[in-house]
């Protein structure tokens, strides 16, 4: 098997009911619902090698989650070809399901009122995991994610970060070869995000697992994915190395500063391109390589109270990618 995932010309249409606002709208939609076809995916093609870690990015509604759901057999493709580990996902063959896992940051599989260990035991039975490897996996996963002490706490008493890590244990207890992660760090604080990221990285390396993850979080992608696929409006805009994407579209960094007075303010232009100036806030855009020099110049020559250097927001990179010619 040279490719773990093959997607070719995938199309997915949804039929949604539109509703006008207000009570009359509610009644109208009850009597004669207005149907509308939404084209979530308009011919998406890509393939992924076993052991690759690929980031899937795009704004809300771009079709990321729809793709993941189709790949894990939840959605029936309207048209196109999909194959995961040489299986047709929609058939939901038990042998296929035993080798994959889908983790959605906004959905829980853990039993809310019971300790997480109960869900793990249930999954052990569902996935038919031999006792010995179950014990090994459990020990390893709980250590990696640092949750050994929380196994017997009812899930509802765990913090969001702890719960997300438990979700990962539950999703990986059967050692899936293909892992679909949908917004795995949503709502987590920085430390928890880092823990989850480190873990995904280790898991991918250690078991040569194929990982496909979606995220809004630039940090997730910078730290994890070597290859990214940008999707917007149901179409792939970019598919390639992450570094190339940054080099190609994010040639600048953003410096945000707070000034204490308006002295010298007209000279700001010399440091970088002014994106926004409404005293005391100023936002400058400078070339990536010159960011450090620009920041120190700013600190020396201007009355700066506060200063940060930031990456261009992911949406802006996507917008830039969107304006350029999509390449396959």
Partner 1 sequence: MRKYLQIFKISFEEEFTYRLNFILWRIRNVMQIFLTYFIWSTVYSDPAKQIFGYDRTKILTYVFGIMIVRALVLSARAMDVSNDVASGNLSNYLTKPVNYFKYWFTRDISSKVLNLIFATVEFILLFLVLKPPFLFQTNIAVILAFLVSIIFAVIIYFLILFLLSSIPFWIPEIGWGSHFLVTVVIVEALSGSLFPINILPQGLQSIILATPFPYLIYFPVEVYLGNISGWALFGGLMVAASWVGVLWVFLNVVWQKGLKVYQSFGG
The site for partner 1 (CB under 8 A) is made up of: 14-15, 65, 69, 72-76, 92, 94, 97-98, 100-102, 104, 106-109, 111, 113-114, 118-119, 121-128, 154, 182
Structure tokens at 296: 């120190």
Tell the smallest beta-carbon distance from residue 118 to partner 1 (Å).
Answer: 5
The single residue listed with the structure tokens 């809004």 is: 216
Tell the smallest beta-carbon distance from residue 27 to partner 1 (Å).
Answer: 14
Round to whole Å and give the CA distance between 264 and 201: 47
Residue among 28 and 256 whose Cβ is closer to partner 1: 28
Residue among 119 and 142 whose Cβ is closer to partner 1: 119
Tell the smallest beta-carbon distance from residue 174 to partner 1 (Å).
Answer: 9
Tell the smallest beta-carbon distance from residue 150 to partner 1 (Å).
Answer: 18
Tell the smallest beta-carbon distance from residue 206 to partner 1 (Å).
Answer: 22
Residue among 97 and 213 whose Cβ is closer to partner 1: 97
Residue among 78 and 223 whose Cβ is closer to partner 1: 78
3-state secondary structure the chain: CCCCEEEEEEEEEEEEEECCCHHHHHHHHHHCCEEEEEEEEEEEEEEECCCCEEEEECCCCCCHHHHHHHHCCCCCCCEEEEEECCECHHHCCHHHHCCEEEEECCCCCCCCCCEHHHHHHHHHHHHCCCHHHHHHHHHHHHHHCCCHHHCCCEHHHCCHHHHHHHHHHHHHCCCCCEEEEECCCCCCCHHHHHHHHHHHHHHHHHHCCEEEEECCCHHHHHHHCCEEEEEECCEEEEEEEHHHHHHHHCCEEEEEEEECCCCCHHHHHHCCEEEEEECCEEEEEEEHHHHHHHHHHHHHHCCEEEEEEEECCHHHHHHHHHHCCCCC
Residue among 134 and 322 whose Cβ is closer to partner 1: 134
Tell the smallest beta-carbon distance from residue 175 to partner 1 (Å).
Answer: 14
Residue among 109 and 301 whose Cβ is closer to partner 1: 109
Tell the smallest beta-carbon distance from residue 191 to partner 1 (Å).
Answer: 25
Residue among 24 and 300 whose Cβ is closer to partner 1: 24
């Amino acid at each position: 098997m040279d490719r773990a995932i093959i997607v070719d010309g995938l199309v997915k249409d949804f039929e949604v009911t539109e509703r006008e606002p207000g009570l009359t709208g509610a009644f109208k939609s009850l009597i004669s619902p207005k149907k509308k076809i939404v084209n979530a995916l308009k011919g998406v093609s890509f393939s992924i090698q076993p052991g690759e870690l690929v980031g899937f990015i795009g704004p809300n509604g771009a079709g990321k989650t729809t793709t993941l759901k189709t790949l894990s057999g939840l959605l029936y493709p309207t048209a196109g070809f999909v194959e995961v580990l040489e299986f047709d996902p929609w058939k939901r063959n038990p042998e296929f399901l035993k080798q994959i896992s889908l983790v959605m940051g906004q959905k829980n599989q853990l039993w809310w009122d019971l300790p997480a260990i109960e869900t793990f035991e249930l999954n052990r039975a569902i996935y038919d995991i031999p006792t010995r490897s179950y014990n090994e996996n459990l020990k390893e996963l709980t250590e990696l994610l640092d949750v050994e002490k929380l196994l017997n706490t009812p899930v509802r008493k765990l913090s969001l970060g702890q719960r997300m890590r438990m979700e990962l244990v539950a999703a990986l207890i059967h050692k899936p070869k293909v892992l679909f992660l949908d917004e795995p760090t949503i709502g987590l604080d920085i430390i928890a995000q880092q823990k989850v990221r480190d873990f995904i990285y280790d898991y991918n390396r250690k078991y040569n697992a194929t990982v496909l993850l979606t995220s809004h979080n630039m940090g997730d992608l910078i730290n994890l994915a070597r290859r990214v696929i940008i999707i917007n409006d149901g179409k792939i805009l970019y598919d390639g190395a992450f570094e190339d994407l940054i080099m190609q579209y994010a040639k600048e960094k953003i410096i945000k500063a707070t000034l204490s007075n308006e002295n010298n303010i007209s000279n700001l232009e010399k440091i970088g391109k002014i994106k926004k100036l409404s005293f005391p806030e100023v936002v400058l855009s400078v070339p990536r390589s010159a960011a450090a020099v620009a920041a120190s110049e700013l600190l020396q020559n201007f009355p700066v109270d506060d200063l940060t250097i930031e990456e261009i927001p992911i949406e802006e990179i996507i917008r830039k990618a969107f304006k350029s010619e999509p390449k396959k």
